C-alpha cells in the first residue's frame, strides 16, 4: 500500500526524485568501475611484491631489474615493436576466451583454432596467383582464417547445444585432434622438404611496421595489429550495442531467465563459440601473413592457454583484453631483456602469480562492494 505522504512529496518535489535517481545511478556506475579496475590493480601490485622477493632471492636489485625490463620493452623502438607483435596474437586468443566467458562458456581450444586459422590463411595465400593485389589477397586470407577458426569453434558449440557435452572437455579434445591433423597434413602433404612448414605464400603478405618506421627494423611487428585492433572494436560494439550481444551476455548471466525471455540458449551458445573460434583463428595471420609468410607447425604453442589469462585479467572486456595482452607481451619480451640478471623462468612465475591474484581479488572486491551497499 503506497504512502500518501510519499506520494505527496513526489508530486511536490519532482526534482528530489530526479536527484535521488542520479545518485543511485552514479553509485552503480562507481561500483561497476571499481569492480572492473580494482582486481587488475591488486593483481599487478601482488605480482610486483612477489617479483621483488624473487629478485632479491637471486641477489639482484628489484629496481635495476625492472628498469632493465622497461628499457628492453617500452624504452626502445625494437623492444616496443616486439611487444606489439607478441600482443597481437594474445589479443585474438584473449578475445576468443572472453566471448565464451561472456556467454557462460569456457573455451579451452583457442590454440587449435589459432593453428587452424593460420593454416587456412596460408592455403589461401598459396592458392592465389603470384602478384595478386594485397587489397584482394589480404581480405581473402583473413576470411579464410576466420572461417577455419570459426568452424573449429562451431563443433563444441553444437555439441553443447544439442547433446549437453561440456565445452571444456570438447575444446580440450579438439585441441589434440586439430593439432594432430594439422601436423599430419604438414608432415605428409604440405611441407617443404627438410622443414616443418609450408611453402612461402604467393599473395596476401602483410607489411612489416619497420617499413613505416626504421626504428622497428628487425622486429616481427606487422600490419596485422591494425586488423586485430579493428576486430576488438567491432567485438566491443557487438557485445554492448547490438541485440545479439545483449542475448549473448544475458545467456551468460542467467540462461534460464534468458530462455524464459524468448532467447534460444542453444543457438546463442553455438554463435558464441563460433565467434570465439573465428577470433582465435584470426590470430594466425600475425605469424603467417605478417611474420614468416608460411605456416609452421608449432607456431601456436602456448598462445591459446595464455589467452585464458589475458581474458581473465582483462575481465572479458575487449578494451581490457587489449591492455592485458600488452601487459603479458611486455612480461614475455621483458623476460628476454632481464635474462642476464635473473632467470627468464621468473617471468613465467610472475604470470602465474598475476592469474592467481586476479582470481582471488575478484570475489573479495565483490564482497566488499556488497558490504558497502548494505551500509548505505
Question: Is residue 290 assigned to a domain?
Answer: yes
Report the predicted TM-score, pTM, of the whole model to 2 decimal places.
0.90
CA nearest to 317, candidates 39, 27, 26 = 39
- Asked if residues 315 and 327 have their Cβ atoms less than 8 Å apart, the reply is no
Question: Is residue 33 assigned to a domain?
Answer: no
| Beta-carbon count within 10 A of 207 CB | 14
Question: Is residue 369 assigned to a domain?
Answer: no
Question: Is residue 13 assigned to a domain?
Answer: no
Question: Is residue 295 assigned to a domain?
Answer: yes
CA atoms within 13 A on the CB side of 269: 24
Tell me the backbone φ, ψ of residue 132, rounded to 5 degrees.
Answer: -60, 135
Strand partners, 296: 197
Q: Any idea what the Cα angle at residue 151 is, between residues 124 and 165, rounded to 5°?
A: 160
State the CATH number of the domain containing residue 270.
Answer: 1.10.3470
CA 3 to mean position of chain CA atoms: 52
The three three-digit cell numbers of residue 61, written as one number = 636489485
Question: Is residue 192 assigned to a domain?
Answer: yes
- Count of domains forming the chain: 1
Domain containing residue 147: 66-364
Question: Is residue 278 assigned to a domain?
Answer: yes
In three-state secondary structure terms, 254 is coil
Question: Is residue 170 assigned to a domain?
Answer: yes
Instruction: Give pLDDT tens digits along the chain (376 positions).
Output: 455 554 544 455 556 656 666 666 777 667 677 777 778 888 888 888 888 998 999 899 999 999 999 999 999 999 999 999 999 999 999 999 999 999 999 999 999 999 999 999 999 999 999 999 999 999 999 999 999 999 999 999 999 999 999 999 999 999 999 999 999 999 999 999 989 999 999 999 999 999 989 889 999 999 999 999 999 999 999 999 999 999 999 999 999 999 999 999 999 999 999 999 999 999 999 999 999 999 999 999 999 989 999 999 999 999 999 999 999 999 999 998 888 888 878 888 888 888 888 888 778 777 776 777 666 5
Amino acid at each position: 500500500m503506497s504512502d500518501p505522504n510519499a506520494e505527496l512529496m513526489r508530486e511536490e518535489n519532482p526534482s528530489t526524485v530526479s536527484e535521488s535517481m542520479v545518485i543511485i545511478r552514479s553509485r552503480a556506475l562507481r561500483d561497476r568501475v571499481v569492480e572492473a579496475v580494482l582486481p587488475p590493480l591488486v593483481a599487478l601490485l601482488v605480482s610486483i611484491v612477489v617479483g621483488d622477493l624473487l629478485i632479491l632471492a637471486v641477489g639482484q636489485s628489484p629496481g635495476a631489474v625492472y628498469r632493465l625490463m622497461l628499457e628492453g620493452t617500452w624504452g626502445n623502438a625494437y623492444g616496443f615493436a616486439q611487444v606489439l607483435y607478441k600482443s597481437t596474437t594474445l589479443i585474438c586468443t584473449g578475445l576468443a576466451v572472453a566471448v565464451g566467458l561472456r556467454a557462460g562458456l569456457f573455451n579451452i581450444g583457442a590454440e587449435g583454432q589459432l593453428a587452424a586459422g593460420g593454416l587456412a590463411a596460408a592455403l589461401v595465400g598459396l592458392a592465389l596467383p603470384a602478384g595478386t593485389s594485397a587489397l584482394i589477397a589480404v581480405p581473402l586470407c583473413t576470411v579464410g582464417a576466420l572461417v577455419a577458426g570459426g568452424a573449429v569453434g562451431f563443433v563444441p558449440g553444437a555439441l553443447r547445444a544439442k547433446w549437453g557435452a561440456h565445452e571444456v572437455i570438447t575444446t580440450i579434445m579438439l585441441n589434440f585432434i586439430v593439432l594432430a591433423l594439422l601436423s599430419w597434413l604438414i608432415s605428409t602433404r604440405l611441407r617443404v622438404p627438410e622443414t616443418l612448414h609450408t611453402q612461402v605464400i604467393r599473395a596476401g603478405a602483410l607489411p612489416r611496421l619497420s617499413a613505416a618506421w626504421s626504428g622497428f627494423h628487425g622486429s616481427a611487428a606487422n600490419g596485422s595489429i591494425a586488423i586485430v585492433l579493428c576486430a576488438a572494436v567491432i567485438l566491443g560494439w557487438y557485445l554492448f550495442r547490438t541485440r545479439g550481444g545483449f542475448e549473448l551476455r544475458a545467456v551468460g548471466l542467467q540462461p534460464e531467465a534468458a530462455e524464459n525471455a524468448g532467447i534460444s540458449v542453444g543457438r546463442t551458445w553455438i554463435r558464441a563459440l563460433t565467434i570465439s573460434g573465428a577470433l582465435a583463428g584470426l590470430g594466425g595471420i600475425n605469424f603467417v601473413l605478417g611474420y614468416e609468410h608460411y605456416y609452421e607447425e608449432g607456431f601456436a604453442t602456448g598462445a591459446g592457454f595464455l589467452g585464458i589469462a589475458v581474458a581473465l585479467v582483462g575481465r572479458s572486456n575487449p578494451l581490457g583484453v587489449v591492455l592485458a595482452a600488452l601487459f603479458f607481451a611486455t612480461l614475455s619480451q621483458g623476460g628476454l631483456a632481464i635474462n642476464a640478471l635473473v632467470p627468464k623462468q621468473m617471468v613465467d612465475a610472475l604470470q602465474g602469480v598475476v592469474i592467481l591474484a586476479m582470481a582471488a581479488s575478484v570475489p573479495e572486491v565483490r564482497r566488499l562492494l556488497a558490504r558497502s551497499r548494505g551500509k548505505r
